[in-house]
Structure 1
Amino acid sequence: MEENKNITVKNLKVGARIKLLRINQKRTLQEIADHCGLSKSMISKIENDKTTPSVATLVKIASTLGTSVSGLLEQETWDKTSITNKKTAMENLVKTEKGYMIFPYASQYHGKKMQPFLFVARKGEVIPHHLSHEGEEFVYVIEGSMKMQVGDTEYILKSGDSLYFNASYKHGIIPISDEVTYIDIFA
Structure 2
Amino acid sequence: MMNKDIGKKVKELRLQKKMTLKDLSELTSLSTGFLSQLERGLTNIATDSLQKISEALGVDLSYFFVSVTKNRSHVLRSYEKEVFQVVNSKFIHYHLTNHSEDKTLLPRMIELLPINCHEDLSQYAHEGEEFVYVLEGTLTLFINHEQVELFPGDSAHYNSSIVHNWANYTNKMVRILVVSTPNSL
1:146 maps to 135
Q: Which has the larger radius of gyration?
A: 2
Contact 1:83/1:106 (<8 A) preserved: no
Q: Equivalents in 1 of 2:173, 2:64: separation in Å? A: 23
1:34-62 deviation per Cα after TM superposition (whole angstroms, max 9, x unaligned): 21111111111111111121111111110
Pick from 123, 145, 150 the counterpart of residue 155 of structure 1.
150
Distance 1:141 1:118, change over 3 A: farther
2:114 maps to 132
Contact 1:150/1:171 (<8 A) preserved: no
- The alignment status of 1:44 with 2:33, answered yes or no, reads no
Q: Equivalents in 2 of 1:84, 1:119: separation in Å? A: 13
Matches within 5 A, 1:45-60: 45-60=37-52
Percent identity reads: 16
Which one-letter code corresponds to 1:91 in the other structure?
A: R
Contact 2:25/2:35 (<8 A) preserved: yes
2:62 maps to 70
TM-score when scaled to structure 1? 0.51
Q: Equivalents in 2 of 1:41, 1:133: separation in Å? A: 28
Distance 1:38 1:141, change over 3 A: farther
Over the residues paired in the alignment, what is the CA RMSD in angstroms?
Answer: 4.3
Question: What number of residue pairs does the alignment pair up?
Answer: 134
Q: Equivalents in 1 of 2:34, 2:131: separation in Å? A: 30
1:164 maps to 166
Cα deviation for residue 64 of structure 1 reads: 0.5
Distance 1:16 1:89, change over 3 A: farther
- The alignment status of 1:103 with 2:82, answered yes or no, reads yes
Q: Equivalents in 1 of 2:82, 2:75: separation in Å? A: 6
1:5-34 deviation per Cα after TM superposition (whole angstroms, max 9, x unaligned): xxxxxxx71110000000111101111112
Q: Equivalents in 1 of 2:149, 2:72: separation in Å? A: 30
TM-score when scaled to structure 2? 0.52
1:120-160 deviation per Cα after TM superposition (whole angstroms, max 9, x unaligned): 9xxxxxxxxxx736898xxx866x65353269x85233375
Q: Equivalents in 2 of 1:87, 1:55: separation in Å? A: 27
1:19 maps to 11
Contact 2:21/2:32 (<8 A) preserved: yes
Which one-letter code corresponds to 1:104 in the other structure?
A: V
Gaps of 5+ in 2: 97-112, 122-129, 141-147, 159-163, 180-185
Gaps of 5+ in 1: 1-11, 76-81, 95-101, 121-130, 175-179
